[in-house]
Structure 1
Amino acid sequence: MQTGFGIYAKIAHDIITGKASLPNLPDAALRIRRAMQDPDCDLARMENIIKTDAGLSGYLIQMANSPMYRGWFATKDLKRALSLFGMEMTRNLCLGYSLRAMFRARDPQLKALLTDHWKRSAHRAAFCAVLAGQVRRISPDRALLAGLLQEIGMPLLYVRLENYPEALSNPEILQDLEETFCATISLTLLDSWGLDAELQEVARSRHDWSREHRGRADLADVVMLVNLHELRLENDPTRYLPEMRSLPAYAKVDPGPVSERGTLVVLDESVDIAAIEATMTG
């Protein structure tokens, strides 16, 4: 009979090896994805799909008026919002919104855990969007989605642990599970959804501080810098963290000065993060 951490590790292993069923993409994201596979799909068709979901429609209008996208005039209707975004950006934002469906549960303990995880994911995603605005060729909406998806395996694991309340209430066990299995479960889920290699690389390398690659800064570089920034803010004395400037990603992104506590000044001083985060969690 298995005891302790081994019981929970087996649940994670079953997910990774395909012994446990994986959730499908949330409905709204699945319908948008299917529509975009049709070469004749246009924004009018996207609008007809999206407007059947009042929550999603409202979210896209809010996002169009957020600091990420707002222009000279307020966006008051879905058609204008979609024309502002375009097809690919609309797909990314719809997927990001629909992920909230994975963070719902009836059990109070599980619900609280999932809600907290969603809020932390939204907070990091807002940081990612703001930092991406400093980098050429990386769109803020893509960075927002990457920030939300980088640890998408954890909600799935939490749900599978619903019958083990002793694990869900133990921060040390959850931390061990995250460090051991988060990346692999996230990759398993992203692959099952058919999401691209760039998003999978974000999940794989989110804490790989020494990661190097050829060419310009990429999405994984942006997300990694945000993660180190956040960990620096937590200031956990038991956790070793490298200096921000020592990361190859820092040299690639070139995000500007670092504060005395090792955080990125551009994120410390941003006035847009709270507004973007509120749009996702409100």
Structure 2
Amino acid sequence: MQTGFGIYAKIAHDIIAGKASLPNLPDAALRIRRAMQDPDCDLARIESIIKTDAGLSGYLIQMANSPMYRGWLATKDLKRALSLFGMEMTRNLCLGYSLRAMFRARDPQLKALLTDHWKRSAHRAAFCAVLAGQVRRISPDRALLAGLLQQIGMPLLYVRLENYPEALSNPEILQDLEETFCATISLTLLDSWGLDAELQEVARSRHVWSREHRGRADLADVVMLVNLHELRLENDPARYLPEMRSLPAYEKVDPGPVSERGTLVVLDESVDIAAIEATMTG
């Protein structure tokens, strides 16, 4: 009979093997995706869908006025915000917002864990959006979404562990589960949602420091640098971390100076991160 970590690992393996049901895309994101699959879809139709969700409408207006889009004229009008975003950006932002639905629970212990995970994801995503501003051809909204999705498998695993409070209350067990299963569960979920290969690569390689590829910097490069930056900030002496400048991703992104503690100065000195993060967590 399995006990302890073996039980938790089996739950993770069942998700990966398709033996457990996977959550659908949150409703708003699903409706918008279906609408955009229609070649005749326009922003007026998307606006009519978004208006059915007051929270989403408010979020998009806040984003239009956030530091991510500095230089735009301030607006309190949803239609104006959508016209500024365009279809692709609107889709990315709506999906990012709708992910919050996966971080809700009634059980106090699980709720606290999911809330903490969402806040950390939002903080990381804000870093990604700011760093993407240094990279041509990578939009901040796309980087924001990648930052939110890179560990999307963990909330699903937490929910499946609801009946095992001893696991949810043990940081070491959760860390072991994350290191062992997070990437694969995240890929399973992203694939089931039909999300593209570039977003899946972010989840697959988020800590693969030696990752190399041809061509220009991509989303995975941006997210990887943010992850190393955050780990450097944590300054865990028990964890080996490579030097920031040694990463192929650093050379691709070319984000500028590295601080004495090994973090990216552009992120250390950014005044925009807190405002972007607050838009997602407020």
Specify the TM-score bucket, using the shorter chain as the normaliser: over 0.9
Displacement of 1:184 after TM fit? 0.0
Deviations 1:43-90 (A, max 9, x none): 000000000100000000000000011435211110000001000000
Instruction: Look up the match of 1:182.
Output: 182
Partners of 2:46 and 2:266 in 1: CA distance: 35
Deviations 1:6-36 (A, max 9, x none): 0000000000000000000000000000000
Partners of 1:133 and 1:82 in 2: CA distance: 20
Instruction: Look up the match of 1:170.
Output: 170
Partners of 2:253 and 2:6 in 1: CA distance: 40
Displacement of 1:2 after TM fit? 0.2
Displacement of 1:122 after TM fit? 0.2
Deviations 1:78-105 (A, max 9, x none): 0000001000000000000000000000
Instruction: Look up the match of 2:52.
Output: 52
Cα pair distance change 1:148/1:72, threshold 3 Å:
closer
Runs (4+) off by over 2 Å: 70-73
RMSD between superposed Cα atoms in Å: 0.5
Displacement of 1:3 after TM fit? 1.0
Deviations 1:145-185 (A, max 9, x none): 00000000000000000000000000000000000000000
Partners of 2:23 and 2:281 in 1: CA distance: 22
Gaps of 5+ in 1: none
Partners of 1:3 and 1:57 in 2: CA distance: 47
| Preserved contact between residue 31 and residue 49 of structure 2 (Cα < 8 Å) | yes
Partners of 1:213 and 1:18 in 2: CA distance: 30
Instruction: Look up the match of 2:220.
Output: 220
Cα pair distance change 1:257/1:70, threshold 3 Å:
closer
Partners of 1:215 and 1:31 in 2: CA distance: 34
Deviations 1:224-243 (A, max 9, x none): 00000000000111110000
Partners of 1:7 and 1:76 in 2: CA distance: 50
Deviations 1:192-233 (A, max 9, x none): 000000000000000000000001000000000000000000
Partners of 2:18 and 2:187 in 1: CA distance: 12
Aligned with 1:251: secondary structure?
Answer: helix
Count the aligned residue pairs: 282
| Preserved contact between residue 65 and residue 72 of structure 2 (Cα < 8 Å) | no
Identity of aligned residues (%): 97
Gaps of 5+ in 2: none
Which deviates the most, 255-264 or 63-72?
63-72
Partners of 2:6 and 2:72 in 1: CA distance: 56
Partners of 2:73 and 2:172 in 1: CA distance: 49
Aligned with 2:274: secondary structure?
Answer: helix
